[in-house]
Amino acid sequence: MNPETHESQLLKRLAVAMTESPRSTIKELAEAVGISKATLHRFCGTRENLELMLIEASRKSLDHIIDVAEKDFDDYQAGLRELIQAHYQNREYHVFSSSNQACMTDDYWFAYLKAIDAFFLKGQKKGTFRLEFGVSFLSESFISILCGIIDAERRGRIASMGAEVMIENLFLTGALEQ
């Protein structure tokens, strides 16, 4: 395992720990992710620096999602799959940023919503998504399903195995037995 991957995994675990216990000390955060306080201190220095690292990682992750949403796809069903995957790759940062609204300015959230809206509008124009649903309705439904499932996984209510495919199927075909 290369050091960047290890650091990335550690930062994701710290994002979860900070979300679950936002007032934790450095020592408590270290214990929560299974490392020593000294190791955590070498990794980030201070709690404030850790928060800055998590904010930066959250912003980069959101930028990646926006990039995916702004792509032009020939197949918007495959595009939806890629958009779901982009959310899932760094879901720990999304949970962190959603629970810590101060870490993202409104500009980031507006850019995100604009990109998701544009994705569904382009998908409607290509004939993938139904026209009777407004773009805002599709975007908000998609975001709600995605965030709800990610939160349910975090709370242990549902298993994460196969969740991405289930989200895609639920969004595209609904819950009715055909």
Structure tokens, 65:
């999602």
Q: Is the pLDDT of residue 8 over 70?
A: yes
CA-to-CA distance for 141 and 138, rounded, in angstroms?
5
> What local confidence, expressed as pLDDT, does residue 106 receive?
80
The per-residue b/e assignment along 8-21, b for 16 or more CB within 10 angstroms, e otherwise, is: eebbbbbbbbbbee
Every domain of the chain and the residues it spans = 3-173
Q: What is the pLDDT of residues 52-106, one digit of tens each?
A: 999 999 999 999 999 999 999 999 999 999 999 999 999 999 889 888 766 677 8
> What local confidence, expressed as pLDDT, does residue 3 receive?
59
> Three-state SS for 22?
coil
Assigned architecture for domain 3-173: Orthogonal Bundle (1.10)
> What local confidence, expressed as pLDDT, does residue 102 receive?
65
Show contacts of 35-40: CB within 8 Å, 24+ apart.
35/10, 40/14
With a pLDDT cut of 90, the percent of the chain lying above it is: 71
